[in-house]
Every structure is written in structure tokens, then in C-alpha cells.
Amino acid sequence: MASTGLQLLGLVLAVLGWVCGALVCAAPLWRVSAFVGGELVIAQVLWEGLWMNCLSQSTGQIQCKTYDSTLALPTSAQAARGLTVLSLLLCILALMLGVAGAKCTHCMGDGNQASKARLGRIAGVLFLVAGLAYLTPICWTAYAIIRDFYDPNVAAPLKRELGPALYLGWGACVLLLVGGALLHVGSSPPGGRALPVFGGAVKDNPHTGAAGEVKQQEKSFI
């Protein structure tokens, strides 16, 4: 029962991490305009994401526009897109395998526990890989923002700050990693008591004891 609880908890945490990751991937809040020149009146705020950028004005109007060309983006942005999409696809595959391999489901029948445990462990590993793949663009984007912010050669209007999507992305990575680890640990193989069974069978077999006594009597007569 404890392993089943770990499986369910791991699946729930991983699904929450997947949902948060999808929101972060779509949100244009990875980079936010930084105001470092002592400006008191802020007329416009620029938000940048993986797929679009938005311009928020002081009047409350928000205008968003998708990027015109994918190839015109920097290499880091293209890599971030690929890694986030790959991570989300891995989460979908891991979720299907995790549901099929959970001990509380009957997708593969109740008599095939070894295969279900194997599927559960594979799903846990996939969630771990997805969490690491999602963590890479989040950390790299944060590093680039901080590097440019403290670079004196970068003009003040081009400086950016960490957007709220990055913090939510770190939380999504933690959920994926913890959920994958719990799912892997909870999907323990059912054959852990094989050796004691064989040992008990040898001890409890009356024919083995009788054969040993006959052999000892034959040796004594010889």
C-alpha cells in the first residue's frame, strides 16, 4: 500500500509540473523590461517569451505579437523552444506509461505485475529526464539575463529582469523531478521474496531430508 501511495503521489506531482511547464512555455513573461536609469514615470513595459512579446502600456492596453521568423531568433531561443517542447512531449509519454504501470489501475490486468512495475520505473525515469530538459533553458535564460544586466556594455533600454515565468518554471522542474523520483521508487518489482521461498522449500521438503538420511546410512554400512 505504501508503494501505491508513492506512485499516486509521484503521478500527481508530475502532472502538476507538466501543467505548470505548459503554462510557462506559452507565457510571454520570461524577460521583463528593467528600469535602471532612475526613471519615475514608466510608460511601457516589454514582456518577452519563447513565442511572442507583449507591450504593456500605462493606460492598461496590452499588445502582443508573435515572432515573425523562427530562424531569425538567437540560437539560445531556438534551443530553449526545442528543449521545452521535448520536455512536454516526454511528460505526455511518461504519463501514459505511468498510468498503465500504476498498481491501482487495470490497464494490463492484475496478473502482470512485473511488467507494470517496469513501466512505472520507465515512466519515473522519463519524468526525471523531462525535468532536467526543462531545467536547462530556464537556467540558461536566467544566466543570460543576469549577465546582460550587469554588463556595462549593454545599454540600459536593452537590459532585462527575470520574469515570473522563470520562477514558475523552476517550480515545475522541482515537481517533475520529485514526482519522477517518487514514481520510480514506488514502482518496486514484486519479486523481492524469491530467495526466501526457495530456501523455505528446501527446508520444508521431506523428500530431501529422507534422501540425506539414506545416503548417510549407506555410507555407514560401507
pLDDT tens string for the chain (222 positions)? 557 888 899 999 999 999 999 999 999 999 998 776 655 456 678 899 999 999 888 777 888 888 888 888 888 889 999 999 999 999 999 999 988 888 777 776 666 778 888 888 999 999 999 999 999 999 999 999 999 888 888 887 788 899 999 999 999 999 999 999 999 898 876 554 433 433 444 444 444 444 454 444 444 444
Predicted local confidence at residue 38, as pLDDT: 57
Instruction: Give CA–CA dist 46/34, Å, rounded.
Output: 9
Q: In terms of Cα–Cα distance, which of 76, 69, 82 is closest to 25?
A: 82
Predicted local confidence at residue 130, as pLDDT: 96
Q: Around Cβ 204, how many Cβ atoms within 10 Å?
A: 9
Predicted local confidence at residue 179, as pLDDT: 94
Predicted local confidence at residue 182, as pLDDT: 93
Instruction: Give CA–CA dist 15/208, Å, rounded.
Output: 54
Instruction: Give CA–CA dist 137/214, Å, rounded.
Output: 73
Whole-number Cα distances in Å, 111 to 25, 106, 190, 197: 40, 10, 11, 19
Phi-psi region of 140 (alpha: psi -120 to 50; beta: other; left: phi over 0): alpha
